Structure 1
């Protein structure tokens, strides 16, 4: 069994033994099993999945890093939300606001603001994707 820890700036989201972990890495989805080679990888907004007691849990995560050892996966991310925590209407409204703000910016001169809005959009889309995937599976 692997020990998984998922931490955001606000709180520890999960800490416990898992069978496997699937991470949204910058180079694509990455699966981790016990005795995996040690590595550190960056994360992009997407779906993080792990299996506990035969049940797969999923979270929408933002950007961050994962440190993998043979016995442990430590995930440091700026956002982690389960399907039940995601407010679909609020997320869709946030996407619309961010897209409107992006449309008003000068993409050649407001590079930092453009990057910030694009990151917010990526996190929102990750949440909606997770919400849509698990809608009705209660």
Structure 2
């Protein structure tokens, strides 16, 4: 994708598919150490990403909101590539499914079964609650 001096090429890729390709003026990324912003001509950078809301301002001024779940961000020249474990548009979040996932995670966390991976169940609960909160906000 060819970019102008005032835009970035944003690509979001999950293991299953290319989720988004867009020309943007700026992007806010949930990093492992907190949110960080990227503008055109940003210094090269590779960073861990966290689960959270990625927002960008498209070249036409529209706001793009994506929910990403971990991975890496690579900024090089005027390109931003997000390699994420999963990603979806906030507007596509199924709130009912997120609520069911949160309920299952809570049940696992309250279980007395020693075979339950508590850190994995906790991460699943955090992801489900994030999906639920952002999904409700966009509907």
Q: TM above 0.5, one fold?
A: yes
Aligned to 2:80: 73
- Alignment check: 8 A CA contact 2:27 2:55 kept: yes
8 Å CA contact 1:81–1:127 kept in 2: the answer is no
1:124 aligns with 2:131: no
SS at match of 1:35: coil
RMSD: 1.7
Instruction: Give yes or no for contact 2:26–2:56 (8 Å, CA) kept in 1.
Output: yes
> Structure 2 unaligned runs (5+)?
1-6
- Which ranges of structure 1 fall in alignment gaps of 5 or more residues? none
Question: Which consecutive aligned stretches of 4+ in structure 1 deviate over 3 angstroms post-superposition?
Answer: none
Aligned counterparts of 1:86 and 1:117: Cα–Cα separation in 2? 20
Matched, 1:88 2:88: no
Change beyond 3 A, Cα 1:110–1:70: farther
**How many matched pairs?**
132
Shift of 1:56: 0.5
Corresponding residue number in structure 1 for 2:137: 133
